[in-house]
Amino acid sequence: MTTTTGPHPTRRLILQGAASVALLGLGNLPFAAAPALAAANDKYPEEAFKLKNEADAIKALYGRTAEPSDKIKLDAPEIAENGGVVPISVTVTLDKVTSISFFVAENPNALAASYRIPEGTLPAIANRLKMAKTTNVTAIVEADGKLYSATKEVKVTVGGCGG
Amino acid sequence: MASSIRVRATANGDITEVQTLIQHPMDTGLVKDAKGEAIPAHFIQQLKFECNGKDVFVADWGTAVSKDPYVKFSFKGAKKGDELKISWTDNKGGSDTITAKIA
C-alpha cells in the first residue's frame, strides 16, 4: 500500500507531507489544525458578496482600487435578450495573474463571481452571469500584486431577476 | 443518482481545457413564486478543481451566476489520463463531487 494523505488531500497537507504521514501512521490522532488552516486559506468571501455597491465590493475583496488596462479582453454581448443568461468571458495577457473577478454594477449585489488562478492555470475564463438590467460589467484582474480592470456595457432587454 | 456535474477535460499538448456544466437552481432569494412568497436563496458558493493533488482552479460564486452554471478554463501541467476532481458546495450545505479523466 502506498501512503496517502487521507480522503481529501489539500495543498497544505501535502506541504506538510512528512508530518501528516507521521500522524496517519500513529492512527487516529486529531490533526484538525491542518485542515482548519487550509480552509482559512480558501475562504469564501461572504462579506464581499453581500455588498451592493461595486466599489465597496472591490475594496472588500482586494483592499484597493484598480486601474484600467488594455491587456484585459472582456467579451460580452452588446445586447442581451435574456438577462438571466449572459455569456461573459475574459482573456488576460498580463503576467502572474492570481485572481479574476466579475462585477455587475446594476445588480442587487455587484460581485458576481471570483476566480482564483493558481500558477500554471491560464488567465482566461468563460462563464454565464445574470443581469437585472442594462449595466456595466467589470472584470477585475489581480496580477503581480497589482489590480487592473476592464469594463463593458451590456444592454439587457429582459432582466435576469425573474420578476 | 446521476451526478449534477458534467465535465469535459481535453489535453492538447501541455494545455488542458476544462468545460463544466453543473445542474443547480442558483436561486437568488429575490424571486417570488406563484403565491407571492420569496423563493429562498440557494446557490453554489464554491467550486473547486483539483488535479494531481493541487488546486488548479477555484471559483467563488454569488447569486448572479446563471442557473445551471457553465464555466470554462485551461491549465498547464496535466496529461491525457490524469484525473481531475471537481467538487462544489452550496449555501444550504449541499455538495457534489466527480472525478473525470482528462481525454
CB contact under 8 Å between A122 and B74, yes or no, is yes
pLDDT of B97 > 70? The answer is: yes
Name the fold adopted by A53-156: Immunoglobulin-like (2.60.40)
Please state, for a pLDDT cut of 70, what percent of chain B lies above it. 99
Interface contact A113-B64, CB threshold 8 A: yes
DSSP three-state, residue A76: coil
Burial A108-124 (b: 16+ CB within 10 A, else e): ebbbbbbbbbeeebbbb
ipTM score here?
0.94
In this complex, the residue of A104, A121, A130 whose CB is nearest that of residue B56 is: A121
pLDDT score recorded for residue A9: 52
Spans of all domains in chain B: 5-101
- Interface contact A130-B64, CB threshold 8 A: yes
B32 contacts on A by Cβ (under 8 Å): 163
CA separation for the pair B46, A114 (Å, rounded): 10
Q: pLDDT tens for residues B11-48?
A: 999 999 999 999 999 999 999 989 999 999 999 999 99
Could you give the CA distance from residue B87 to residue A19 in angstroms, rounded to a whole number? 26
pLDDT band at B88, cuts 50/70/90? very high
Say which of A9, A14, A44 has its CB closest to residue B45: A44
Contact B73/A107, CB-based, under 8 Å? Answer: no
Going from N- to C-terminal start, the domains of chain A cover 11-41, 53-156
Domain B5-101: top CATH class: mainly beta
- The number of residues in chain B equals 103
Chain B partners within 8 Å of A113 (Cβ): 59-62, 64-65
To probe the interface with A, which of B14, B58, B79 has the most A CB atoms within 10 Å?
A: B58
Residue B19, C-alpha cell as written in the block: 468545460
